[in-house]
Amino acid sequence: MTRLTSLIIALTCLYTTGCDNKDESPKKFILINGVSGTQESFQEIKKTFETGKKNDIAVGIGFIVSYLHYKPAEVELKLINYLSLSEQFELPVIIQLDGEQWWEYRSDLWNWWDENIPGYNPENKKNVEWFNWSPDSAMKVGWRNWGRQLRVRPAPNLMSTVYRESCHAGMGRLVPIIVNWWKNLPEEKKYLFVGVKVGWESSIGVNTWYYPNGNALLDEPEPNDPDYGINMDLLPDRGVKTIGYAAVSTLGLAVSGQLQEEDITKVVRIHLEDLSKFLVDNGIPREKIFTHCGGWSQGETLYSAAVNQYSCPGWSFYDHAANPKNDVTAMKALELSDAPYWGAVEWLYVGEHSEADWENALQNTLIDNRVRYMCIYNWNDIKKNQNAISAIHMITKK
């Protein structure tokens, strides 16, 4: 074969669809959160959407592995199970590694006050957040509202050395499993690995907040707790009690005075950058790493904490699910990123909407060439919404 003939064949492959080496893998993904790790659940997704390798937009699954919440062996088995099901049913996956929102199992990190709970150590005050500049203001309890208010363990001090080392250790048991699975996939199935997500609306004082005099409430019946919740637009306290003092002082940004929004943003940025770098250092390339940063009040600096040199940025879209481009602060933060992709990593079109409305919202979210995926929350609700199901069919069949 002459050099000229080879060149002609190569150019033909670039501009036609008939060449064997053409990459027919999906370019974008609609991933569904809240799918249980059973064959029946994966089969339900597969049967409902029937997308695959040759679709430009493929449907898959986003699942969460909280590596500080359960025994390490249980966490590893959960991950292995999901990856196995992904390959079996040819459903792409994004793997969320969470060490931030749920850390029940690691009482040796957060229990500084109760000798009757395993892991008790007064030094653990350094691993949880404070509501003032002193370790004596360490949290015993926090509150969260994901559909209803509930008590949760105290928020972690994101800058605690012991906490960070525990995150690395937890991820260190899981990342080799992910990398080995990905590397051993047949070439035609490599697309099943969409990536890894770190963070979970990462922030301080939002998904775990602290009510004034909260520690005293721990010994009271939970129904007596305040229930007025948080006001996203009131910074930095969010309308409750400001926390973040532990992380800011550990990082050496301040040890007195009024807590600054910019300091909290810097803490979250370092947190997400550290997790992202850990993934890169352990074999996962930047284009497959996504952060999930918080951001709720237009203009707040927290959005920018999603951006770092090791990952692709991601945010939640609820109020702006109809068109993420209308989230001006997120889009401004995106301008700071040179990453190849970004993600609508938590997304839900809330309310009653027609099929056409759903289709428009999906198109508006995926239209940006740099959007790699959107993750729709939550399957138990979505599968009852025929307009949503039909719109996803329309988008993925185009």
CA distance 36 to 314: 23
In a domain, 249, yes or no: no
In 3D space, the residue among 76, 326, 289 whose CA is nearest the CA of residue 177 turns out to be 76
Q: Which two tokens stand for residue 278?
A: 């850990």
* Segment 7-53, tens digit of pLDDT: 333 333 333 333 444 567 899 999 999 999 999 999 999 999 987 77
In a domain, 78, yes or no: yes
The answer, yes or no, to whether residue 167 has pLDDT greater than 50, is yes
Domain that holds residue 42: 23-127+161-214+272-397
Residue-wise pLDDT for 334-388, tens only, equals: 999 999 999 999 999 999 999 999 999 999 999 999 999 999 999 999 999 999 9
Residue 259, in any domain of the structure: no
Work out the average pLDDT over 167-181. Answer: 98
Assigned domain for 142 exists: no
115-131 mean pLDDT:
97
Query: Which residue, 10, 75, 5, is CA-closest to 37?
Result: 75
How many domains in the chain?
A: 1
Question: Which token pair is 164?
Answer: 């960070």
Residue 345 in any domain: the answer is: yes
N-term to C-term CA, the chain: 38
Residue 59 tokens read as 């449907």
Does any domain span residue 1?
A: no
Distances (CA, A) of 282 to 17, 179, 317: 36, 8, 30
Predicted TM-score of the model (pTM): 0.92
> What CATH number is associated with residue 292?
3.20.20.80
Measured from the Cβ of residue 336, the count of other Cβ atoms closer than 10 Å reads 13
pLDDT tens for 325-340 read 999 999 999 999 999 9
Question: Does the residue 276 lie in any domain?
Answer: yes
Question: Is 191 part of a structural domain of the chain?
Answer: yes
